[in-house]
Amino acid sequence: MAALFRGSRNLLQRCNKHVDLVLVSSRSMASKTPVGFIGLGNMGSPMAKNLLKHGYPVIATDVFPESCKELQDEGAQILDSPAEVADKADRIITMLPSSPNVIEVYTGPNGILKKVKKGTLLIDSSTIDPSVSKEMALAAEKMGAVFMDAPVSGGVGAASLANLTFMVGGVEEEYTAAHELLTCMGANVVYCGQVGTGQAAKICNNMLLAIGMIGTAETMNLGIRLGLDPKLLAQILNMSSGRCWSSDSYNPVPGVMEGVPSGNNYQGGFGTTLMAKDLGLAQHTATNTKTPVPLGSLAHQIYRVMCARGYANKDFSSVFQFLREQEEEPEKKGD
């Protein structure tokens, strides 16, 4: 009887090992299935390239066909619409400029939800209104798909180096599946809670980023007018209590740092238009929650004025140049 028990136990152990191997194999095979990517702009393109570098076949589309060529040359399959992507991939990442773009890509006539398959994981890395993320999650759920918001922080440089921070909102049980893809594109992946909480974290971060950038630009400008060398001033700030990301990693003064937009006539990076949009989201959510954000509101107005004054397509650190121009205007009027 004991021998029979031992034999049954050994057989059960072998069966369990076989099941484990099958599960591992299926997960491994799933990892090799195509990943859809929609939105190949300044951020989306390098993110999609990093998926390719990690061995994921990428099926992509963008409203501007010229944005697809570089990714296609690196091996991605390019299709004509989000619906076509959804028909061929059961894991899809979107990276789009604004809430209306997200609504169109998901629910429009050629949108993802027209052909999405049941069980598809939809990850939106756009920065949009949290309420829109919740709407998209409900719409996806009706189609049997799962939607998660996963906006990013870090900018174009971090996107290229796969060093982004992802703030993820959605069903916790699906977080592991999302994490597998996001770690190919970022160094930090943080679960924030239910759908919309990723967007909430991103909006708060960008409001602080804008306030910090304006403060850094004002400080550097004042120091320069007081006769301080800008590189020396930046060095002092970065070893003192005034240190922040805008001063030590993304300084807005031309010539202080290499490899940042201020050293390239404020080209590339994170556009002033997008910063104004994100601050508008912060303002909207602050109003809805009756939260006082006086500095956030002022930052929003400054970036809106910059958009109207020709800075819309420049990096948001061009607020330094904008402030310099403001001090020149009274002098011109005095002349």
- pLDDT for the residue 299: 98
Q: Is the pLDDT of residue 332 over 90?
A: no
Q: 142 an active-site residue?
A: no
Q: Higher pLDDT residue, 3 or 255?
A: 255
- pLDDT for the residue 28: 41
- pLDDT for the residue 29: 43
Burial of 87 (C-beta count, 10 Å sphere; 0-12/13-18/19+): middle
The predicted model gives 247-255 an average pLDDT of: 97
Model confidence pLDDT, tens digit, residues 143-181: 999 999 999 998 888 999 999 999 999 999 999 999 999
Q: Is the pLDDT of residue 22 over 80?
A: no
Q: Is the pLDDT of residue 7 over 80?
A: no
The predicted model gives 15-36 an average pLDDT of: 53
What count of other Cβ atoms lies within 10 Å of the Cβ of residue 91? 22
pLDDT band, very low/low/confident/very high, at 17 (cuts 50, 70, 90): very low
Rounded distance between C-alpha atoms, residue 116 and residue 83, angstroms: 7
Q: In degrees, to the nearest 5, what angle opens at C-alpha 153 toward C-alphas 38 and 289?
A: 100
Q: Higher pLDDT residue, 28 or 61?
A: 61
> Is 317 in contact with 261 (CB distance < 8 Å)?
yes
Rounded distance between C-alpha atoms, residue 191 and residue 277, angstroms: 24
Model confidence pLDDT, tens digit, residues 261-317: 999 999 988 999 999 999 999 999 999 999 999 999 999 999 999 999 999 999 999
Rounded distance between C-alpha atoms, residue 47 and residue 239, angstroms: 33
Which of the residue ranges 3-12, 256-265, 279-288, 314-323 would you say has the lowest mean pLDDT? 3-12
Which of the residues 17, 118, 202, 277 is marked catalytic? Answer: 202
pTM of the model: 0.83
pLDDT band, very low/low/confident/very high, at 1 (cuts 50, 70, 90): very low
Q: Is the pLDDT of residue 6 over 70?
A: no
The predicted model gives 52-64 an average pLDDT of: 96
Rounded distance between C-alpha atoms, residue 300 and residue 72, angstroms: 37
The predicted model gives 63-70 an average pLDDT of: 92
| The three-state (H, E, C) secondary structure of 65-119, written as one string | HHHHHHHHHCCCEECCCHHHHHHHCCEEEECCCCHHHHHHHHHCCCCHHHCCCCC
Smallest Cα–Cα separation from 169: which of 152, 145, 186? Answer: 152
HSE-CB at 327 with a 13 A cutoff on CA atoms is 10
